[in-house]
């Protein structure tokens, strides 16, 4: 049995066509059911629904054999125990620094004073500002980062941006692009050895669905 960890929403939705290409169809709609374990048309494959940030942890410790997770989440997790064979090129966005419209970010960075930065992505933010030589006080948040500069909690945020609509709606502007983000396939390293044939088939089907070779 292969257990695949997915999160509800965009990752589940965007993984479905890849699963289909691998001959796997999920038999229930997670938006309509309260079930956390979903059967597929294949008796040897099931899907478990977990929080997006928990996908790498489930796969690392073998709660799932394989999973789909954003590069942001993967970097924050650290990637221990995970084989990362494929960038699936889904759930694409970017990690950026944003500030309140009118805030002089360049001056704040040049002055050498400490910048207050609110984010869910503490590792990515710490590395980025350390490389730039900017001193920061990091404030860990779990959501609604956009509110932090508006309430005086922080000078800047590090968050995911796609269309830019969320920033615009909250009078924030993107001042630096840290990295491009997409979702990756992660595989438990022990499972890869023990369930090699089944997992290789899925990895190869995903790879050919996105036009890549795993060889």
Ligand X SMILES: O=P(O)(O)OC[C@H]1O[C@H](OP(=O)(O)OP(=O)(O)O)[C@H](O)[C@@H]1O
Ligand Y SMILES: Nc1ncnc2c1ncn2[C@@H]1O[C@H](COP(=O)(O)OP(=O)(O)OP(=O)(O)O)[C@@H](O)[C@H]1O
What is the contact surface with ligand Y in residues (CB under 6 A)? 7, 9-11, 51-53, 70, 72-73, 91-93, 160, 162, 181, 183
Q: Phi, psi (5° rounding) for residue 151?
A: -110, 0
Q: How far is CA 215 from CA 96, 187, 203, 204, 207, in A?
A: 33, 17, 11, 9, 10
Provide, rounded to whole angstroms, the least separation between the CB of residue 159 and ligand X. 5
What residue 72 binds from ligand X, ligand Y, none (CB within 5 to 8 A, per partner kind)?
A: ligand Y
- Binding of residue 159 to ligand X (CB under 6 A): yes
The reply to whether 214 sits near ligand X by the rule CB under 6 A is no
Question: What is the CB-side half-sphere exposure of residue 142 using CA atoms within 13 A?
Answer: 3
Contact between 123 and 75 (Cβ < 8 Å): yes
Distance, CA of 182 to CA of 204 (rounded, Å): 19
Residue 166 interacts with ligand X (CB under 6 A): yes or no:
yes
Instruction: Tell which positions 96-125 bind ligand X, by CB under 6 A.
Output: none
CB-based closest residue to ligand Y: 70
- Using the rule CB under 6 A, is 213 a contact of ligand X? no
160 part of the interface to ligand X, by CB under 6 A: yes
Which of the listed partners (ligand Y, ligand X, none) does 7 bind, with a CB threshold of 5 to 8 Å by partner kind? ligand Y
CA separation for the pair 128, 139 (Å, rounded): 15
Instruction: Please count the CA atoms within 13 angstroms of the CA of 212 that sit on its side-chain side.
Output: 12
3-state DSSP call for residue 3? strand
> Least distance to ligand Y from the beta carbon of 92, Å?
6
Q: How many residues bind ligand X (CB under 6 A)?
A: 9
CB of 154 to ligand X, least distance (A): 15
């Amino acid at each position: 049995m292969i257990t695949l960890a997915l999160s509800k929403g965009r990752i589940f939705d965007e993984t479905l066509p890849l699963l289909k290409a691998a001959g796997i169809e999920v038999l229930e709609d997670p938006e309509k059911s309260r079930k956390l374990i979903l059967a597929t048309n294949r008796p040897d494959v099931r899907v478990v629904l977990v929080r997006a940030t928990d996908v790498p942890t489930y796969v690392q410790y073998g709660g799932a054999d394989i999973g789909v997770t954003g590069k942001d989440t993967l970097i924050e997790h650290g990637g221990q125990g995970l084989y990362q064979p494929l960038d699936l090129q889904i759930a694409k966005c970017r990690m950026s620094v944003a500030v309140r419209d009118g805030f002089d970010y360049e001056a704040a960075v040049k002055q050498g004073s400490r910048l207050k930065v609110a984010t869910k992505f503490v590792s990515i933010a710490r590395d980025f500002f350390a490389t730039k030589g900017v001193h920061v006080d990091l404030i860990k948040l779990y959501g609604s980062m956009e509110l932090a500069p508006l309430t005086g909690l922080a000078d800047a945020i590090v968050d995911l941006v796609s269309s830019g609509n969320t920033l615009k709606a909250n009078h924030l502007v993107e001042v630096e692009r840290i990295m491009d983000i997409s979702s990756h396939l992660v595989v438990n390293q022990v499972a890869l050895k023990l369930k090699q044939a089944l997992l290789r088939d899925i990895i190869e089907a995903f790879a050919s669905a996105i036009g890549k070779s795993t060889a």
